[in-house]
Structure 1
Amino acid sequence: MNDKKTDLPAVPAKIKKTNVFASVVWVIPLVALIAGGWLLMKQIRNTGPTVTLLMDSAEGIEVNNTVIKVLDVNVGRVTKVKLREDQKGVEITAQLNADVKNLMRSDTQFWVVKPRIDQSGVTGLGTLLSGSYIAFTPGKSEETKYEFQVLDIPPIAAIGQSGLRLKLEGDNDRILSVGSPILFENFMVGQIESAHFDPVGQKVHYTIFIQSPNDKLINSGSRFWLESGINIKTDGNGISLDSAPLAALLSGAISFDSPERDGGSPVANEEAFQLYGSRSEVENLAGERSLYYTAFFKQSVRGLSAGAPVEYKGINIGVVADVPYFAHNDSLHLFENGWIPVRLRLEPSRMEINADAQSKAYWQQQFQTALNKGLTATISSNSLITGSKMIELDDAPSSLPKLKPHSVYGGDTVIATRGGGLDGIQAQVSALLEKFNSLPLDKTVGSLNGSLAELKATLKTADKTLNSLNTLVGKPQTQNIPNELNQTLKELRQVLQGVSPQSPVYGDVQQTLQNLDKTLKDVQPVIQTLKEKPNALIFNSSSKDPIPKGSR
């Protein structure tokens, strides 16, 4: 079959322009595009940052259910929970709203809100029904951050709360929990924000927050110490009991004072302070004008410890600094001389009660003058209940010998010491007992026993004599003696009545006596002559003595 080619003339095409916007088909996609763009912009505008939260465990956290709150307002939600790559906990992803994107700072703090009972009371009871949630407090740093470590307990400083944050460091034997109170004269003015122990430096570190306006109590001279809760003090003044507030009794507390409140300089935020173990340690801190002296004792120092008071006539003027205080390796010669050195620290501020402060040199001169006049140190009892001791300075004269092995020891002036107190009495009693033991008690007791035996025999003889006397008195003849004596006296009266001055007998007797007196007077010359010459009755007194003739 043959194909026939037919040539037809070309007809030009006609192009007709149409109005695109007149077509309804393009309206719907355009509207959808505009709406989608608007929604996208709104979503972008309303969507905040995505933050990563690190926790030890995901207890109480649920994806899309656990919300993020600030000031009890929902500002985000947990979108993802997974294990951390280092296997040290969980990693939580949370989507926040746009209105909190400027609150994510390097010092922003997150924590889990759940039922909690601590020293601050009972909190988070509302989460028993709604479930736990994550709250945060915005920071004030200029640095932006989107990864945070979630705390176990709420931070101390609330949003917008002003105050002062300080660092404390101490060599303490215990650590307080976060949230424990900060006290000023038993008034709660702040709380502990963080607490941890450094195993390398073996120190305890705290971060505390003092709420405004209480931060005005802090200055460069503030001193901090651990509050034990109940403080029982026994000394020479008796027993005193000091109790801290209930919060401090439950968890302990940190107390502080500011002795230079009027003269101390203000402190900056995050400034560090030393934390002491107790209030007594703070009260016994050495001052700039402290004076050091050393006293040597032969007696026992049991009960005398560092911090014990040093008193002068009942006035506390210092403390014991070190017991014992060995310098120049003198402890190696302890058993050779038996001296126990004790270092004393005197505080001039305690001697300036209601008086102007004086220089250190002034008090050194005053004390040296007292030493030259005979000031001595003795160990005295501070409490009979606990057996604690103290040092008492006395300038009264005493018969006890002074002990002073050195004039200067370890760079300190040495104070002479004397025995005293109960120890002195005990030493005197011991010396008395030694003298008593040296007495010949065996011989004395033996002689006494012999004397007692003789006395016993004498008493037996006396008893027999008394019995014989009783027998004699019991006889009728003895009992009639008084009647016979009465009769004799009666007859004697009658006889005496016969020799009365009016009776004739009395006259005769009187005449006889007169004659006898006259006779004695006449005989007196004869007696005198006989006394002078006993041979007057034999030889003639007027003739001379014959001279014998010689023999032819």
Structure 2
Amino acid sequence: MNDETNPPLKPVPARVQKTNVFTSVVWLIPLIALIAGGWLLMQNIRNTGPEITLLMDSAEGIEVNNTVIRVLSVDVGRVTRIKLREDQKGVAVTARLSADAKDLMREDTQFWVVKPRIDQSGVTGLNTLVSGSYIAFTPGKSEESQDTFTVLDMPPIAAIGQSGLRLKLVGSNNKMLGVGSPVLYENFTVGQVESARFNPKNETVDYTIFIQSPNDKLVGENSLFWLETGISIQTTGSGIVLDSAPLPALLSGAIAFGSPINGEKGQPVANEKTFELYNNRAQIDNLPGARALYYIAFFKQSVRGLAAGAPVEYKGINIGAVADVPYFAPDDSLKLLQNGWIPVRIRIEPARMEINARRQSREHWQQQFQTALNRGLTATLASNNLVIGSKMIELAEQPGNNTGGTLKPYQQYAGNPVIATRSGGLDELQAQLSDLLNKFNKLPLEKTVGELNASLRELQTTLRSANALINKPQTQGIPQELNQTLAELRQTLAGVSPQSPLYSDIQTTLQSIDQTLKNAQPVINTLKEKPNALIFNSNVHDPIPKGNR
């Protein structure tokens, strides 16, 4: 049997498939996109800076994605989130910075909000009225990096790259200055207040001030700082002294500093050094020197008007000041009514007596003063200003070394030498006037006045009698009768021969009468004008009654 019915199978030729080039290129697109995305991601990572947190009291004027972070007016970041702080003491603002600011976030970097502000420094931030508030910062110089910062209320005083001296001031002051108040040297602004804080623990005010270079060279280890506020009016024995600070100090007050009186500023100081802050310049002037000498003076008269800091003068030269009024030893004030005196402690400054002279030791001046006390140097309360009633202490030698009338109950009191005192000035004048008035009161004035009144009554009675006599018609007719008599005599004389003796006698009589009338004419005229002229002599001054001695 053959296999004709099942012929053998013919081999099938293999199909050759053609490769699609387009399909291979499509797979390259995701690869390129992946590479581009990775490159963009790397670029974004390289261009994106750190994320920082800013702690603020409130988010006033701050908006997410709108408020920018700037340094030197260049945008280096933007606010991305605002949330309340967990301690409920403000808000936490999250900001994303650019890579340019990555190395600027240091431990001492300072942030603040820039917005329109009017203060003693002028008007600032007006450009934010249109663009809105923004956050600025000054880069720090610390080697330690940081990502959380507290935003300040005011711009920091020290600008970027500015050199100077930062100091700490502590004082028990009765007034607190604000941030930005000027720091003065001889009325020139050389710095500003960076921070001011009241410390309730020790009841002091703590300041941080910054003095720009090269003004920082004015500060030394002996420099003294005090508050300069407003207008100072001082009334002294020389008159009224008006001292006005610069305009910024008048608006907000200022801190002034200078070297000690008759002293040097000392060696330069380092940053963050602490100084004491005094209330005013007068407190500086009354600081005791290293060579100060203390003495005690006892006064019997009132010490009203005498205060600590009042001048102590020797013949018009200020050589010290009053240290304490009053100055009682322990339990000695219990004898105030018994003793009747008030102790006052005075301080003598040798530096004020070294006028154009070399500096001497404290022992030298102590010996000089003791010699003067042995010669009779005494202390007297004197008037310093009559308008306000302030007083001072004047030192002078007793005339003729007379120690009578002085008060010196002790040689030493509370460890200090005692200087003798005597009354003087207005108190002495008041005492003399009081003695004079006492003597005047002892005069028998009532008896003298009574006798004068009686004499005046008698004079008035006599005057009335004289006036009545003068006013009588007979008295007023005397001149007329005399004239008539003279006329009759002349008529009679006309009938007498000039050679007869009778004529000569009548002529002599007429001449005498005529002379008498001439002499009486002034008296008559005076009586007509002043009828009391016969009693009172107008050319003699009224007698002054004298009292019994």
TM-score category (smaller protein) = 0.7 to 0.9
Hey, what does 1:474 align to over in structure 2? 479
Hey, what does 1:231 align to over in structure 2? 232
Hey, what does 1:79 align to over in structure 2? 80
Structure 2 residue 291 is the aligned partner of structure 1 residue 286: no
Q: Give the alignment of 1:290-369 within 5 angstroms.
A: 290-369=292-371
Hey, what does 1:427 align to over in structure 2? 431
Change in CA separation of 1:489 and 1:161 when aligned onto 2, cut-off 3 Å? farther
Q: 1:369-400: CA deviations, max 9, x gaps?
A: 11111111111111122221111112251887
Q: Is the Cα–Cα contact under 8 Å of residues 165 and 216 in structure 2 kept in the other structure?
A: yes
Gaps of 5+ in 1: 1-15, 493-552
Hey, what does 2:372 align to over in structure 1? 370
Q: Is the Cα–Cα contact under 8 Å of residues 473 and 479 in structure 1 kept in the other structure?
A: no
Hey, what does 1:408 align to over in structure 2? 412
CA displacement at 1:263 relative to structure 2: 6.0
Hey, what does 1:394 align to over in structure 2? 396
Q: 1:188-235: CA deviations, max 9, x gaps?
A: 000000001111101011000000000000000100000022111211
Hey, what does 2:257 align to over in structure 1? 256
Superposed CA RMSD in Å reads 2.8
Change in CA separation of 1:165 and 1:479 when aligned onto 2, cut-off 3 Å? farther
Hey, what does 1:445 align to over in structure 2? 449
Distance 2:379 2:508 in 1: 90
Distance 1:358 1:302 in 2: 35
Hey, what does 2:39 align to over in structure 1? 38
Change in CA separation of 1:44 and 1:458 when aligned onto 2, cut-off 3 Å? same
Distance 2:270 2:486 in 1: 121
Distance 1:277 1:491 in 2: 107
Q: 1:505-537: CA deviations, max 9, x gaps?
A: xxxxxxxxxxxxxxxxxxxxxxxxxxxxxxxxx
Q: Is the Cα–Cα contact under 8 Å of residues 170 and 206 in structure 2 kept in the other structure?
A: yes
Distance 2:444 2:331 in 1: 47
Distance 1:462 1:297 in 2: 66
Structure 2 residue 32 is the aligned partner of structure 1 residue 27: no
Structure 1 counterpart SS, 2:301: coil
Hey, what does 1:507 align to over in structure 2? none
Structure 1 counterpart SS, 2:399: coil
Q: 1:471-509: CA deviations, max 9, x gaps?
A: 59536359969999x9659769xxxxxxxxxxxxxxxxx
| One-letter identity of the residue aligned with 1:426 | Q
Structure 2 counterpart SS, 1:164: strand
Distance 1:219 1:342 in 2: 35
Distance 2:478 2:372 in 1: 82
Percent identity reads 67
Number of residue pairs matched? 475
Structure 2 counterpart SS, 1:391: strand
Hey, what does 2:93 align to over in structure 1? 92
Hey, what does 2:196 align to over in structure 1? 195
Distance 1:50 1:326 in 2: 68
Q: Is the Cα–Cα contact under 8 Å of residues 219 and 261 in structure 1 kept in the other structure?
A: no
| One-letter identity of the residue aligned with 2:110 | Q
CA displacement at 1:83 relative to structure 2: 0.8
Q: Which moved more, 1:82-91 or 1:267-276?
A: 82-91
| One-letter identity of the residue aligned with 2:479 | G
Structure 2 counterpart SS, 1:87: coil
Structure 2 counterpart SS, 1:300: coil
Distance 1:151 1:355 in 2: 53
Distance 1:334 1:313 in 2: 31
Distance 2:66 2:508 in 1: 146
Distance 2:263 2:190 in 1: 16
Q: Structure 1-normalised TM-score? A: 0.80
Distance 1:287 1:487 in 2: 112
Change in CA separation of 1:256 and 1:448 when aligned onto 2, cut-off 3 Å? same
Q: Structure 2-normalised TM-score? A: 0.81
Structure 1 counterpart SS, 2:448: helix
Q: Which moved more, 1:52-61 or 1:449-458?
A: 449-458
Q: Is the Cα–Cα contact under 8 Å of residues 293 and 344 in structure 1 kept in the other structure?
A: yes
Structure 2 counterpart SS, 1:382: strand
